[in-house]
Amino acid sequence: MTHSACLLLAGDIGATKTALALYQTWPGQPLRQQTLQNRAFASFDALLLDFLGQGEAAPVRACFGVAGPVMAGAVHMTNLNWTLDARTLQQRFGFLRVDLINDLVATAMGALHLPPADLRILQPGEQHAGGAMAVLAPGSGLGEAFLVPHNGGYLPCPSEGGHVSFAPRDGLQSDLLAFMRARQAHVSVEQVCSGLALPELFAFMATREPPPDWLQAQLEQADVPTPVIVQAGLEAVQGGRPCDVAVLTLRLFLDILADEAANLALKTLAIGGVFLGGGLTPRLLPLLDQQRFLSVFTRGTYRDWLARIPIRIILNPQTALLGAAAYAADALGTRS
C-alpha cells in the first residue's frame, strides 16, 4: 500500500455503522466514501483494512469521530465492544498522525460547516457572534457536546452529559422514572432519550395505551423494535393506521429531548445557539410540534433568555464525517 501525503481520511464510527471518506483537499468533495456495517467486522482495524484495501493510495493523516469517551488517545466504545487506540492505528497503518475524537465533537465541528439548506430553524432566536453553542444528537445513544470561542474560531469540547441522571418534569415523566427504576439501578437521560430508549418508553406507554394487535405482531417479529415504533408513529400522524401508543411514545421522547436541550444550553451558556442532530431528530420532524417543543424548552427562571437562543436541527446525516475531516485539516494546518 502506497501512502500519499496529500490524502486525508475521515471517519464517523457509530454503534451500528461506520462512515469513511478519503479527501485530497478540505473543504472539498471526497475522492471516495463508504458506509460499512460494524457487525460484519471483528474489529475497527479489520473494517479499516477492508476500506483502505480498495484504493491504490493510502492517507498519512486521519481523524475518527467515535461513539465513546476518548481518554489519552484511546476509546472503548459505549455501545459496541470495540477499543481504538490512536498510537496503535498510527503504527499499523503507517499514518503520520491519527486523532480520535468523540463523535459529538465531530458533529459539533461539522455543524459549523453546514450550509443553510442543511439546517432547519426551530427557533430563530438572536444571533450572538462568538457565543458558545450546544449540540445534542439522539441516535443509538444520546450524544452531547459544546463549542466555545477560541482564537477567532471555535473549540469543540466533549461531554458525557447523556449519562447524567434523568429528572422528570411532570407527573407522566415521574411515573416513567418509577417504571424505569423498577428495571435498573440508575436512570440516565440517554436511557429515556435515544434509539436504545424507545422500546422502554414504548413499554411504559403500553401500560396506559395498549398497542394494536398488528403492531404487537410486528414487534414480535422484529430483531430491533425501534424502527417499528418510529414507523408506526410516523404513519399514524401522516394519515395511516391510527396508533396512539406509538405517537404518545414519540411525543414523550421529544418532550424529554426539549427539556434536555434547555439543560445543556443553560449549563454551557449557549447564547450562540443549540444544534439538534443525530439520526432520530430529523426522522421525527413530522411529529415535532414546534410550539410544544419550545414551550418545554423555554421554562424556569431563565425562560426569557432561553426564548432568545437559536435552535437548529441538523438535516445532513454526514455532519460528523465532515467534522472529522475539518478537525484533521485544522490539526495539521492543511485547510485550503
At CA 201, angle to CA 196 and CA 202, rounded to 5? 100
The amino acid present at 149, given as its one-letter code, is P
Model pTM greater than 0.95?
no
The DSSP secondary-structure symbol of 142 reads: E
- All domains in the chain, ordered by first residue: 2-108+318-332 (3.30.420.40), 115-315 (3.40.367.20)
Percent of the chain with pLDDT strictly greater than 90: 82
Question: Residue 34's beta-bridge partner residues?
Answer: 20
Q: Spell out the per-residue pLDDT of the chain, length 336, in tens.
A: 555 557 899 999 988 899 999 998 888 899 999 999 999 999 999 999 999 986 666 788 999 999 888 999 999 887 788 999 999 999 999 999 999 999 999 999 999 999 999 999 999 999 888 899 999 999 888 999 999 999 888 999 999 999 999 999 999 999 999 999 999 999 999 999 999 999 999 999 999 999 999 999 999 999 999 999 999 999 999 999 999 999 999 999 999 999 999 999 999 999 999 999 999 999 999 999 999 999 999 999 999 999 999 999 999 999 999 999 999 887 655 444
Task: Return d(Cα 269, Cα 309) in angstroms, integer.
Answer: 10
DSSP3 helix / strand / coil % (the chain, rounded to 5) = 40, 25, 35
Q: Which SS3 state, helix, strand or coil, does residue 76 take?
A: strand
**Cell for 71?**
481518554
Task: Return d(Cα 23, Cα 55) in angstroms, integer.
Answer: 12
Q: Are strands 2-13 and 17-23 parallel, antiparallel or unpaired?
A: antiparallel
**Cell for 293?**
417543543
Count Cβ atoms within 10 A of the Cβ of residue 41 and give its class: 0-12 exposed, 13-18 middle, 19 or more buried.
Answer: middle
**Cell for 303?**
425562560
Task: Give the tens place of pLDDT for each residue, 155-187.
Answer: 999 999 999 999 999 999 999 999 999 999 999
State the maximum Cα–Cα separation within the chain, in Å, rounded to a whole number.
62
